[in-house]
Amino acid sequence: MSYNSTPTLRCTAPEDLRIEPEWQLKRDNTVFEIHNGTQSTVILGTKETEVRLKDISEYWEGIFITAIYLHSEFSLTVSVYMSNY
């Protein structure tokens, strides 16, 4: 993804998971929760969820962004690696 672009990361489950996920960002072995802010909009749902990034900068380079669904019966983790190609 190029700098100053506005990508959308979407996670769609095959069925309603009955819980909302937590979006996280991992960089240099430090994990941060992603919330609505100046560079991101988080839309939560039990079947589909997304993060819309705005005008991304080099800060987002080389990090993993993860949607995590945690439930007493199961857990589901989906990750994407951000790279500037």
Q: What is the pLDDT of residues 2-55, one digit of tens each?
A: 677 788 888 888 888 888 999 998 888 888 898 999 889 999 998 899 999 888
> What CATH number should be reported for the domain whose range is 8-81?
2.60.40
DSSP 11-26: EE-SS--SS--EEEEE
Task: Quick: pLDDT tens for 22-34.
Answer: 999 888 888 889 8
